[in-house]
Amino acid sequence: MRLFVDTADFDEIAAAVGWGVISGVTTNPTLIARAGQDHETQVKRICELVADVSAETVTEKKNDLIVEGRRIASWHENVIVKVACTPDGIAAGKVLAGEGVKINVTLCFTVNQALLAAAIGAYFISPFVGRLDDIGEDGIAVVRGIVDAYRQQGITTKVLAASLRHPMHVTQSALAGADIATMPFKVLEQMYKHPLTDSGIERFMSDYRKTQEPQALGQRSGR
Ligand code: G3P
């Protein structure tokens, strides 16, 4: 499973890229607004750091979405255009996909919505796990259902588990068979963490320092 960060914060993306574990970024209008930058400028900057950068459309009608999608796709070869799972979004996505634009169908909450995305040759489908959990549904079960349906149908659209809120969502996405998990930077940081890793390092370092004390060095050299 590939790991993406779900942020438009340039410093966070640069740090995550530096760690060598992420291979893509997802953004949405909320995250762009939080970054306090103009959409085009920020997406272009992010595309210089990493491939597979999802950038979201904000118009609603099919023809407007097609024009907007073409414009966003022209920003950089690494851009993937996000359209919402609505009749207009899917119809526009079909036209754009036919022109060779990579499409990420977003705001997906059911297997049926994922089948609609597959029907237009979407590159990614983004089931929103946390938002389903928020309303008392099982977000990971939807990811698992999409993965199973795609497998049975031989569909090549990649399942991008989104709206992940904590490290267990990442583990569960992997076990459900997601192709990609996109997560806030904080969750990526949390993936590294375990108290036994911290205490283990502390102990190894302490023992190592003991071997560097003059007495220990003397003993080893037989003095
Ligand atoms: O990638 C989609 C994601 O940004 C939504 O996350 O936490 O706002 O539901 P959240």
pLDDT at 113 over 70: yes
CA of 211 to the centre of ligand 1 (A): 49
Q: Report the mean per-residue pLDDT for the chain.
A: 95
User: What confidence score (pLDDT) does residue 213 get?
Assistant: 84
- Domain residue limits, the chain: 2-192, 195-223
DSSP class of residue 146? H
Pocket test for ligand 1, best of 4, 5, 6 (most atoms within 8 A of CB): 6
Condensed to tens digits (0 to 9), the pLDDT of residues 73-93 reads 999 999 999 999 999 999 999
Structure tokens at 201: 């390092």
3-class SS of residue 128? strand
- What's the pLDDT score for residue 215? 73
Kindly state the helix (H) or strand (E) to which residue 221 belongs, with its residue range. Answer: none
The Å distance, Cα 162 to ligand 1 centre, comes to 6
Q: Is 205 exposed, middle or buried (0-12, 13-18, 19+ CB in 10 A)?
A: exposed
Cα distance between residue 165 and residue 173, in whole Å:
12
Pairing of strands 2-6, 124-127: unpaired
- 219 pLDDT band, cuts 50/70/90, is low
Is the pLDDT assigned to residue 156 strictly greater than 90? yes
| pLDDT of amino acid 223 | 52
Average pLDDT over residues 111-137: 98
Query: What separation in Å is there between the alpha carbon of 104 and the centre of ligand 1?
Result: 14
Q: How far is the CA of 205 from the centre of ligand 1 (A)?
A: 39
Architecture of the domain delimited by 2-192: Alpha-Beta Barrel (3.20)
The pLDDT of residue 37 is 85
Mean pLDDT of 95-115: 98
Q: How far apart are CA 157 and CA 216, in angstroms?
A: 60
Please confirm, yes or no, whether 210 is among the known catalytic residues. Answer: no
Query: pLDDT value at position 221?
Result: 57
Tell me the per-residue pLDDT of 9-48, one tens digit each, with 9 for 90 and over.
999 999 999 999 999 999 999 999 999 889 999 999 999 9
Write out residues with Cβ below 6 Å of ligand 1: 6, 26, 28, 128, 130-131, 162-163, 165, 182
Structure tokens given for 47 = 């595309």
Helix, strand and coil content of the chain, in percent to the nearest 5, comes to: 55, 15, 30
Residues 75/46, Cβ–Cβ less than 8 Å:
no
Average pLDDT over every residue of 135-156: 98
Give pTM, 2 decimals. 0.93
Mean predicted confidence (pLDDT) in 88-112: 98
pLDDT(220) > 70: no
Atom 7 (ligand 1) nearest CA: 163
Confidence at residue 218, expressed as pLDDT on a 0 to 100 scale: 67
Q: Which amino acid is at 215?
A: Q
- Averaged pLDDT for residues 175-204: 98
CA distance 195 to 55: 36
Q: Is 34 helix (H, G, I), strand (E, B) or coil?
A: helix
Q: Which two tokens stand for residue 8?
A: 């438009």
Work out the number of other CB atoms within 10 angstroms of the CB of residue 175. Answer: 12
